[in-house]
A = this chain, B = another copy of it.
Amino acid sequence: MSAGFSKVAIIGLGLQGGSIGLALREALPDLATTGYDRDAATRARAAERGLVGHVADSAGEAVAGADLVIFCVPLGAMAAAAEECAASLSPDALISDVGSSKVSVAEALGSVLPNHAIIPAHPVAGTENSGPDAGFASLFRGRWCIITPPEGADEALVARLSALWEAMGAKVELMDAAHHDRVLAVTSHLPHLIAYTIVGTASDLEEVTQSEVIKYSAGGFRDFTRIAASDPTMWRDVFLSNKGAVLEMLQRFTEDLTALQRAIRVGDGEQLFDHFTRTRAIRRSIIEQGQDVAQANFGRDAS
């Protein structure tokens, strides 16, 4: 029994695709895994690391005979990747992905593969690294994987896909695609946009040199650069594909920032203190629910 699938094809062998391959090989050794990446160097490295059982030379070869195909490419490349596979897909192959916004992915894959069952998924796990060397088998362990089945999706298929993610150590949650896009806009997309912005702001200063910014980054800036080191192609596509929700969350953020800015300008210490106290509770809950570790991380030496 391999969680209801006999052969899983992974299209795109970067951080996500590579981690899925490694996690499946570790958790379900009997499950056949194939993979393909349009970049030849990535394919070579994927084969060296054994990210999947077999690295194919074409997308078509990778998906031939697969009963599950997981697209792990940037959102903007989903449709093209699906087209590359279309002719070789078995008609009963389940189509899924790991994209960070779900409404647009469902549309992109659905337009190319109108006759296939498509059940999008989004593992809420990642690192600031990308490429075929970034993946590791435990990436999804204890993390949430949000599956967004379209209306009328085959419940048996949803159950099989859920079981596969649980086999990789993930906790599965079913969610409406549009709601997913709003939740992730605030928990992931907005934080990345903010981090990318502030790192750019700091590097553009004239009177404060970039070497000073780097030297004294341990005061907090450092942790933003970590997020701002994430894959540029992936994130460009995230913001373009989840534009509506991101812009709305950004508007709310800007209003709140303006309020704190005013509190600083007028010297309203009480408002600042109240706000800063409130945000502490959220942190505690995240640690209690196992989504982060309590170990002090600003002082890396403490670890």
A interface list, Cβ under 8 A from B = 76, 100, 124-129, 134, 136, 138-139, 141-144, 146, 173, 179, 182-184, 186-205, 207-208, 210, 212-230, 232-233, 235-237, 239-240, 243, 246-247, 249-250, 252-254, 256-257, 260-261, 264-265, 267, 269, 272-273, 275-280, 282-286, 289, 291-293, 296-303
A187 adjacent to B213 (CB under 8 Å) = yes
CB-CB under 8 A for A279 and B236, given A127-B302, A243-B267: no
A46-B257 Cα distance, complex, nearest whole Å: 37
B191 adjacent to A220 (CB under 8 Å) = yes
- From residue A301, how far is it (CB to closest CB) to chain B in Å? 4
A135-B249 Cα distance, complex, nearest whole Å: 37
- From residue A103, how far is it (CB to closest CB) to chain B in Å? 15
A300 adjacent to B292 (CB under 8 Å) = yes
- From residue A153, how far is it (CB to closest CB) to chain B in Å? 21
- From residue A300, how far is it (CB to closest CB) to chain B in Å? 6
Closest to A143 in B: B218
A214 adjacent to B285 (CB under 8 Å) = yes
A139 / chain B contacts, CB cutoff of 8 Å:
299, 301-302
A276 in complex: contacting residue of B136, B236, B285, CB < 8 Å: B236
A194 adjacent to B194 (CB under 8 Å) = yes
A240-B266 Cα distance, complex, nearest whole Å: 9
A279-B193 Cα distance, complex, nearest whole Å: 11
A282 adjacent to B210 (CB under 8 Å) = yes
- From residue A286, how far is it (CB to closest CB) to chain B in Å? 5
A128 adjacent to B297 (CB under 8 Å) = yes
- From residue A289, how far is it (CB to closest CB) to chain B in Å? 6
Q: A187-B219, A191-B224, A196-B260 given. 12 additional CB < 8 A pairs?
A: A136-B302, A144-B218, A186-B202, A193-B260, A195-B279, A214-B282, A225-B292, A229-B283, A236-B269, A236-B276, A247-B264, A293-B300
A222 / chain B contacts, CB cutoff of 8 Å:
286, 291-292
Q: With a 10 A CB-CB cut-off, give which of A190, A210, A226, A233 has the most chain B CB atoms.
A: A226
A143 / chain B contacts, CB cutoff of 8 Å:
218
B275 adjacent to A128 (CB under 8 Å) = no
